[in-house]
Amino acid sequence: MNHLLELVTKPDNIPIVGLLLLVIFYSWLAWTKARKNDSQQLPDEARLDDKVQVWPYLVRVEFLAMLVVLLILVVWSVFINAPLEEPANPALTPNPSKAPWYFLGLQELLVYFDPWIAGVVLPSIIIVGLMIIPYVDINEKGNGYYTFKERKFSILTFCFGFLILWVSLIVLGTFMRGPGWNFFLPWQDWDTHKVVVLNNVDLSEYFGMPSHFPDNSLNIAASAFGFLVIAAFYLSLGGWHYMKYKNSDVVKKLGLGRYALVLGLFLTMMFVVLKILLRLAPPIFGGYPVKYIWVTPWFNV
Amino acid sequence: MISPMEKLRKTEVYKSIFRHKYEDTPRNRALQIVDNVFLHLHPVRVPRHATNIGYTWGMGGITFLLFLVLTLTGVILMFYYRPTAQYAYEDMKYLMHDVPFGPLIRNMHRWGAHAMVITVMLHMFRVFLTGSYKPPRQFNWVVGVVLLLLTFLLSFSGYLLPWDQLSIWAVTVGTNMARATPLLGHEGPFGPQLGMRPDADVRFVLLGGTQVGPPTLLRFYVGHCIFLPLIATIFMVVHFWRIRKDGGISGPDTGKKNF
């Protein structure tokens, strides 16, 4: 328990505790407002649409918010010192070495993906994916008020990405990843000597095809198999969805290009989840964790 | 007998500064906004729900406030800090132990930066949940995503500057990703085939070397203090201006004009 207290009160971890509490609070707030709006004819925001003068009705709120924020920041800064560790030493690697907290979700993905995916491709997809949201969400409802009923898919997808894949992984990376990036429960002491069996296998081995021959040359059949698995993932789920919904209004209105884009991005998010599950789930059933799905001479997925 | 205050109000100097009277009239309230370059960011009147903190959470405004706090404390920190491997850490020690209010200024900068990353994320969360990126505000959401990215980059580049173990290794972990960049990194897919080497790839450009060292410190310092704040300011100007041009704070379409 002392370890937990130490983790939670470590100066650099306080923002993450704050983030967690704020995210929970604001999710609850938004949910409450959405539920209330969904249960009535007009959203609350539409009832309050008469005009008020900015001076003083808006400016005073801004001024109070400014005072409160500055007060919190000054009190925080008076009582808690920003950390300053030993001088930089390129020859002495701390264990664990952690990226700044807001990148810990991506660092966690390094467990399941090679750096080119976790560190470069996925962040780029996240940024581009966020940017195109307004152009692919063609639902005209829910503009300017809290609602859930009118835009279930978009809200569920965004919340899954933000709350589960972004915030939770940050919390996991901060409080549950210790030396060697090994998993520890928050109250478990960080044992530097914890040994974890590394018995990951490539997916093709489950089907009797090792991805490399004993002389370490690549098994083309296993590589082709890996490619087919990934192609099948996208094509079967995507194809199934298209066959089922191709005549729906949403798909027609989106057009094939935008529809394929949304579907591809959504399936990629699911693929990340799938890869995590392939690593974490098999040991529960006595199997080997999956390292790669697709092995090639140039990159592995 | 007229009061000194009234006398003052009649002077040429006072009248040249304050262009209108302060009696409580709708006209004076409007002038209070439009005659002030800073408050002029606002429209004169807003729908009532826009003043409700439960709707906006105030996160956009708080983010901007934190940016201003960071600019101010950052400039003060620059007086005491030299971005060289020889002096950086010593300057930090000096700042934390000998400079009057040094720890307060540095703490406000550090904690304010962490808080800004959080408020940017919450602002984006709120904008999403209220559907405020929908027409006509699509492009302003894109500008907002760029600002989110710039906030991460600002925070990340500042992380290195204390030049202690925490900063050098956090930045090492972060920038190690760059070597795996497809095509452009020496360990990325098709990087070696395109002639990428540890001393000639995208990570080398970022760090000014093959590992995080003195040239990296200078690069990150210049990026953190000049380049990134400048770019962020430009995008913020566009972001705020677009809020007004896109019809002010989002709200349900009730058929009334919103600006």
**Chain A contact for B236, CB < 8 A?**
no
**Chain B contact for A240, CB < 8 A?**
no
Among A24-38, A163-177, B10-24, B61-75, name the one with the lowest average pLDDT: B10-24
Taking residues B98-115, what's their average pLDDT?
97
Does the beta-carbon distance from B134 to A127 stay under 8 Å? no
Domain range summary for chain B, segments of one domain joined by +: 55-245
Closest A-chain CA to B45: A53
Kindly report each contact of residues A148-151 with a partner whose C-beta sits within 8 Å and lies 24 or more positions away, as own/partner. Answer: A148/A31, A148/A34, A148/A35, A148/A38, A149/A34, A149/A38, A150/A38, A151/B131
Contacting residues of B for A82, CB less than 8 Å apart: 103, 106-107, 109-111
CA distance A231 to chain B (A): 19
CA distance B1 to chain A (A): 32
Closest A-chain CA to B172: A99
Q: Helix H segments across A110-219? A: 115, 122-136, 152-159, 169-175
Contacting residues of B for A122, CB less than 8 Å apart: none
Residue range A49-60, pLDDT digits in tens: 889 999 999 999
Interface test with B, best of A41, A54, A57 (most B CBs within 10 A): A54
Contacting residues of A for B162, CB less than 8 Å apart: 84
CA distance A285 to chain B (A): 33
**Chain A contact for B44, CB < 8 A?**
yes
Report the CATH architecture of B55-245.
Up-down Bundle (1.20)
Residue range B157-197, pLDDT digits in tens: 999 999 999 999 999 999 999 999 999 999 999 999 999 99
**Spatial CA neighbour of B130 closest among B1, B249, B241:** B249
**Chain A contact for B187, CB < 8 A?**
yes
Predicted confidence band of residue B94 (pLDDT cuts 50, 70, 90): very high
pLDDT at A1: 66
Contacting residues of A for B43, CB less than 8 Å apart: 54
- A62-91 residues touching B, CB cutoff 8 A: 62, 65-66, 69-70, 73-74, 76-78, 80-90
CA distance A284 to chain B (A): 31
Asked if residue A296 is part of any domain, the answer here is: no
**Chain A contact for B173, CB < 8 A?**
yes
Residue range A198-220, pLDDT digits in tens: 889 999 999 989 999 999 899 99
**Chain A contact for B99, CB < 8 A?**
no
Domain that holds residue A258: 2-285
Asked if residue A160 is part of any domain, the answer here is: yes
Confidence check on the interface: ipTM exceeds 0.85, yes or no: yes
A258-267: b (≥16 Cβ within 10 Å) or e: bbebbbebbb
Give helix A249-280 / helix A220-245 axis angle, nearest 10°.
140
Predicted confidence band of residue B259 (pLDDT cuts 50, 70, 90): very low
CA distance B115 to chain A (A): 7
Closest A-chain CA to B165: A88
Interface test with A, best of B35, B169, B220, B246 (most A CBs within 10 A): B169
**Spatial CA neighbour of B228 closest among B88, B71, B51:** B71
Beta bridge partners of B200: B197
Nearest to A77 among B30, B108, B131 (CB): B108
Contacting residues of B for A50, CB less than 8 Å apart: 47-48
**Chain B contact for A99, CB < 8 A?**
yes
Q: How many domains does chain A have?
A: 1
Nearest to A144 among B33, B106, B251 (CB): B251
Alpha-carbon distance A53 to B149, whole Å?
34
Asked if residue A300 is part of any domain, the answer here is: no
**Chain B contact for A158, CB < 8 A?**
yes
Does the beta-carbon distance from B165 to A85 stay under 8 Å? yes
* Rg, C-alpha atoms of chain B: 24
**Chain B contact for A196, CB < 8 A?**
no
- Which residue's structure tokens are 């992984």? A169
Does the beta-carbon distance from A26 to B122 stay under 8 Å? yes
CA separation, residue B134 to residues A141, A154, B79 (Å): 9, 12, 44
Residue B116 has pLDDT above 60, yes or no: yes
Predicted confidence band of residue B216 (pLDDT cuts 50, 70, 90): very high
Q: What angle do CA A10, A12, A18 make, to 5 degrees?
A: 90
Does the beta-carbon distance from A94 to B169 stay under 8 Å? yes
Residue A51 tokens read as: 């005009």
CA distance A145 to chain B (A): 5
Residue A145 tokens read as: 């008020």
Query: B182: how many CB neighbours lie within 10 A of its CB?
Result: 17
* pLDDT tens digits in sequence order for chain A, 301 residues long: 688 888 888 999 999 999 999 999 999 999 999 999 999 999 999 998 889 999 999 999 999 999 999 999 999 999 999 999 999 999 999 999 999 999 999 999 999 999 999 999 999 999 999 999 999 999 999 999 999 999 999 999 999 999 999 999 999 999 999 998 999 999 999 988 888 888 899 999 999 899 999 998 999 999 999 999 999 999 999 999 999 999 999 999 999 999 999 999 999 999 999 999 999 999 899 889 999 999 999 999 9
Residue range B138-157, pLDDT digits in tens: 999 999 999 999 999 999 99
Give helix B59-78 / helix B228-245 axis angle, nearest 10°.
150
Does the beta-carbon distance from A143 to B112 stay under 8 Å? no
Residue B258 has pLDDT above 50, yes or no: no
pLDDT at A132: 97
CA separation, residue B210 to residues A270, B85, B175 (Å): 36, 16, 11
Contacting residues of B for A149, CB less than 8 Å apart: none
pLDDT at A198: 83
Contact, B154 vs A73, CB < 8 A?
no
Alpha-carbon distance B201 to B191, whole Å?
8
Closest B-chain CA to A32: B54
pLDDT at B19: 86
Closest A-chain CA to B254: A46
Residue B255 has pLDDT above 80, yes or no: no
**Chain A contact for B107, CB < 8 A?**
yes
pLDDT at A199: 86
